[in-house]
Chains A and B, each alone.
Chain A
Amino acid sequence: MAFEPREPQKELKYDELRIYSDDELNNYTEEELKNFKVKHNIPDVEELEKGPWPSFVADAKREALHRRKLSEDRMMIERDVVEDLLGQLQVSFDDGETHWKHGGIVGVFGYGGGVIGRYSDLPKKFPSIAHFHTLRVNQPASKFYSTDYLRSICDLWEFRGSGLLNMHGSTGDIIFLGTFTEQLEPVFYELTHVLQQDLGGSGSNLRTPSCCVGRARCEWACYDTQDMCYELTHYYQDELHRPAFPYKFKFKFDGCPNCCVASIARADMSFIGTWRDNIRIDQKAVKAYIGGEIKPNGGAHTGKDWGKFDIQKEVIDLCPTQCMWMEDGKLMIDDKECTRCMHCINVMPQALRPGKDTGVTILFGAKAPILEGAQMALLTVPFMKVEHPYDNVKELIDKVWDWWMEEGKNRERLGELIQRYGVPKFLDVIGLPPMPQMVKEPRSNPYIFWKEEDVPGGWKRTIEDYRKRHAR
């Protein structure tokens, strides 16, 4: 199964695109690196070069040395940018405070997001990071790359920026960290014209959607997370680049209820793959697990001796709905009682597989604590078939956005709006009936907001009528 991109994809060959020669790329020796000192005194920062975990300081110093040895005209911002950044980090440690100024409105023409302005509040001391703006670059779905692409963005970003980046930011983008205002448009121009690559979202707009590894390398993906992420990202480009929302809005696509991209905690609209038929059982493999021929949980527990695998104790007894049992040496599942938590499948991946009639569960309104506390997403659509081009999903999205854009207050996330208006209102807006699955339990107070049309005769009454029946 191959996919057609929405637009023909230019093939990127590093050798045709490159800025730096091999000599420029290999311009220092290990010996020079060992003896290299950055221009500032940074003892606490350098302390972080020790220890086994990869040191971001040791890495940054490589870039600092590399820039020192490049010729001045081969970098469009100051060569000292990395050294100044490490210097400012040391001052931040000394002061116990950040030294980045608040905000700064910069961007590229026509977009309201994708660029974050950043300025040092110590520009005299660290002039090379006086401006240190960020660009968010929209990653390909599930973050596979070719080295041609990666090497090309490295050259671009070393030439026009600091050579420092995040692989990746929390929302999923590649983050280009640190350049001057002058270089923002040139970077964007090169990205779009040469690399056929767009920026991601920031501010009150659709943020860069992200997805799990999905069908590319996981047996549990219940729908095509990559394709859906790609299609919706492209379909909603206007919403992604031009802030028109009350606040940020995130889509995240998890292929199964294991939730590897944490959509249920982080996405205003969370898609979680699921199925509605039966878990597929290979009884021969079940026996092999029981017999100890296959390691449980894909071998995840082999670092410690947990004793012989016990299907009763480790699978059947841990099933949250107690819907499994052994019968004549066979594993039985009462699938209509199953809540698809994935535990048994996780423990015995060679014996159990999700069903074949798959789709998504859709939940709304997750967010981090700002402002009224963290929220997890509300189970709203139990099951939806999702096929390219996902018209049923788009229709639902449009209804949600219409309401949120109309009623949402400045900086009010969808989850907060749902709380403010109540779930019944939300269901009314998106045209769905209620179901008991939407709540953990029914309300324990009877304070129902009955509507006038719910009550026979309506609410229009006169006190005179009442008084005819009741003396004052």
Chain B
Amino acid sequence: MALSQERLGRYNPEKPMENRITDLGPRHFWQYFPPVIQKNYGKWLYHEILEPGVLVHVSETGDKVFTVRCGGCRFMSVEHVREICEIADKYCDGYVRFTTRNNIEFMVTSTDKLEALKKDLISRKHVSGSYKFPIGGTGAGLTNIVHTQGYLHCHTPATDASSMVKAVMDELFDYFQGMTLPAQVRISMACCLNMCGAVHCSDIALLGYHRKPPVIDHEVIDKVCEIPLVIAACPTGAISPAKTEDGQKTVKIKEERCMFCGNCYTMCMAVPLSDKEGDGVTIMAGGKVSNRMSQPKFSKVVVPWVPNNFPRYPEVCESVKKILEAYAKDANKYERIGDWAERIGWEKFFEKCDLPFTEHLIDDYRLAYDTYRTSSQFKYTDAAWEVSKAAGGID
């Protein structure tokens, strides 16, 4: 049965439930494996990264599969997918894979095909000059940034996603193509605190953040929202019931209690937060999900806010580069950014990354006490001398 070319296809709006098929689930994965994957399923012995972006996996059967990993935009057109298909048909018997970090993986079984594939991939460029299929993202390097929708599709963002990823990856392109870092670096980007990208355990996290409390659309709030739900949505209890001058039900907000999470707006369209001057980017660092050596860690806020300077976000790029360059220079082999920061001490992290430490970085939300240092063990940095001076302890 071919795909329908009628306006409504085979769907009959007069009888919407007619012949409806539901609960099919996803298609089965087995049919999408190239023969070498089917044959060696569960039999892989080891792998090696031959060069940045190129892996070989060796099976106990003696079979090998070569994988070329290419950076991709998660936002892509069908034209791009068709080009991926053209490549996969030409070199990979019509199979291709995507990774959880939006990379594209082409697999071949011979070195001849591998060389031809690589050559073809790097020759493909957009008319404006950017690579379509840059090879890299393996080993002790930077891989693709996972991200969210941003201004292209989301109703709650505090920044844009695709453009920031493009700007940052352009700046860090050499790290993507190389394996010069102490360990892998995972950057993630989420355009608001909802964190559809769950960036909270990343080596570096870029997070869109609002800084102005909601404005209230008194005229409609009682018609379009459940006011008790809006009140209950606020984690700090900043929202309470109120009446407008003409007696309509609405809410009022204790603005100094707002921490700008936007949960009220998620519940109710009548309390928007977004604002050109208020919105920007928070940068976090030192998280990871792997259990390797140390336990998984949350990312910590290291830059409280930088502006949304579209389309290239120079302040974001600069901060990320500072962290990455200090880490590349100073960390031990195998150390993730968080492991490094913990070994040298966070005070040294700020010194080495040349990032200012402001009061915003000291937790004052719930469980803040867990982050207090309750020890006389610390390292001296300029920040420490400044406090000593301010306290009248030294000249």
Q: Which residue of A lies closest to B38 (CB)?
A: A2
A257–B296 Cα distance when bound, in Å, is 10
On chain A, the residues within 8 Å of B99 by CB distance are 143, 213
A-contact bits for B159-187, CB 8 A (1 contact / 0 none): 01011001101100100101111001000
On chain A, the residues within 8 Å of B167 by CB distance are 48, 51
In the assembled complex, the CB of B327 is this many whole angstroms from the nearest CB of chain A, namely: 13
B-contact bits for A269-312, CB 8 A (1 contact / 0 none): 00010000000000000000000000101111111101000000
Contact of B98 among A167, A257, A376 (CB under 8 A): A167
Q: Which residue of A lies closest to B59 (CB)?
A: A219
A265 within 8 A of partner (CB) = yes
On chain A, the residues within 8 Å of B9 by CB distance are 160, 186, 189-190
Known: A2-B30, A58-B128. Contact between A168 and B74, CB under 8 A? yes
Known: A53-B131, A103-B155, A165-B78. Contact between A185 and B17, CB under 8 A? no
Q: Which residue of B lies closest to A8 (CB)?
A: B28
A150 and B85 contact, CB distance less than 8 A: yes
In the assembled complex, the CB of B46 is this many whole angstroms from the nearest CB of chain A, namely: 4
On chain A, the residues within 8 Å of B153 by CB distance are 100, 118, 132, 134, 177-178
**Which A182-236 residues have a C-beta within 8 angstroms of B?**
182, 185-186, 188-190, 192-198, 200, 208, 210, 212-213, 215-219, 221, 224, 226, 230, 233-234
Contact of B95 among A141, A145, A171 (CB under 8 A): A145
A196 and B27 contact, CB distance less than 8 A: yes
Q: Which residue of A lies closest to B84 (CB)?
A: A150
B349 within 8 A of partner (CB) = no
A314 and B8 contact, CB distance less than 8 A: no
B33 and A99 contact, CB distance less than 8 A: no
Known: A2-B38, A63-B77, A144-B37. Contact between A371 and B127, CB under 8 A? no
A197 and B24 contact, CB distance less than 8 A: yes
From B20, B38, B65, residue with most partner A Cβ within 10 Å: B20
A97 and B276 contact, CB distance less than 8 A: yes
A145 and B155 contact, CB distance less than 8 A: no
A146 within 8 A of partner (CB) = yes
A-contact bits for B276-308, CB 8 A (1 contact / 0 none): 110100000001011111101010000000001
B88 within 8 A of partner (CB) = yes
A369 and B200 contact, CB distance less than 8 A: yes
B296 and A55 contact, CB distance less than 8 A: no
Known: A145-B95, A145-B97. Contact between A54 and B134, CB under 8 A? yes
A170 and B197 contact, CB distance less than 8 A: yes
A149–B95 Cα distance when bound, in Å, is 10
How many of chain A's residues touch chain B, expressed as a range? Answer: 35 or more
A142–B343 Cα distance when bound, in Å, is 35
In the assembled complex, the CB of B318 is this many whole angstroms from the nearest CB of chain A, namely: 16
B27 and A343 contact, CB distance less than 8 A: no
In the assembled complex, the CB of A48 is this many whole angstroms from the nearest CB of chain B, namely: 5
B-contact bits for A50-89, CB 8 A (1 contact / 0 none): 1111111111101100100000000010000010010011
Give the segment of B112-120, B137-145, B353-361 that binds chain A: B137-145
Give the segment of B243-251, B261-269, B372-380, B385-393 that binds chain A: B261-269
A170 and B166 contact, CB distance less than 8 A: no
Q: Which residue of B lies closest to A51 (CB)?
A: B170
Contact of A376 among B2, B27, B127, B298 (CB under 8 A): B298
B-contact bits for A394-411, CB 8 A (1 contact / 0 none): 000000000000000011
On chain A, the residues within 8 Å of B45 by CB distance are 219, 350, 353
Known: A369-B200, A373-B366. Contact between A198 and B294, CB under 8 A? no
A165–B80 Cα distance when bound, in Å, is 10
On chain B, the residues within 8 Å of A132 by CB distance are 153
B31 within 8 A of partner (CB) = yes
A-contact bits for B42-84, CB 8 A (1 contact / 0 none): 1011111111100101000000010100011111111111101
A218 and B44 contact, CB distance less than 8 A: yes
A139 within 8 A of partner (CB) = yes
Known: A103-B155, A142-B97. Contact between A219 and B47, CB under 8 A? yes
B324 within 8 A of partner (CB) = no
Q: Which residue of A lies closest to B265 (CB)?
A: A102
A167 and B76 contact, CB distance less than 8 A: yes
B326 within 8 A of partner (CB) = no
In the assembled complex, the CB of A150 is this many whole angstroms from the nearest CB of chain B, namely: 5
Known: A145-B96, A264-B289. Contact between A52 and B131, CB under 8 A? yes
Known: A257-B292, A374-B298. Contact between A217 and B65, CB under 8 A? yes
Known: A53-B170, A190-B4. Contact between A304 and B95, CB under 8 A? no
B275 and A98 contact, CB distance less than 8 A: no
B76 and A262 contact, CB distance less than 8 A: no
In the assembled complex, the CB of A239 is this many whole angstroms from the nearest CB of chain B, namely: 10
Known: A89-B160, A118-B153. Contact between A148 and B141, CB under 8 A? no
B197 and A163 contact, CB distance less than 8 A: no
A342 and B194 contact, CB distance less than 8 A: no
In the assembled complex, the CB of A452 is this many whole angstroms from the nearest CB of chain B, namely: 30
Q: Could you jot down 13 A-B contacts, CB within 8 Å?
A: A53-B169, A56-B162, A88-B151, A154-B78, A167-B74, A170-B146, A172-B100, A182-B8, A197-B24, A198-B23, A215-B41, A230-B28, A257-B292
Report, nearest first, the 9 A-B pairs whose CB atoms are least far apart.
A96-B276, A300-B139, A102-B269, A51-B170, A5-B28, A303-B179, A49-B128, A63-B77, A58-B126
Apart from the given pairs A143-B99, A170-B148, A264-B296, 17 other A-B contacts in the complex at a CB distance below 8 Å = A11-B31, A54-B131, A58-B126, A96-B308, A101-B155, A110-B17, A141-B29, A147-B94, A164-B75, A167-B74, A189-B10, A237-B23, A258-B292, A299-B49, A304-B180, A371-B261, A376-B298
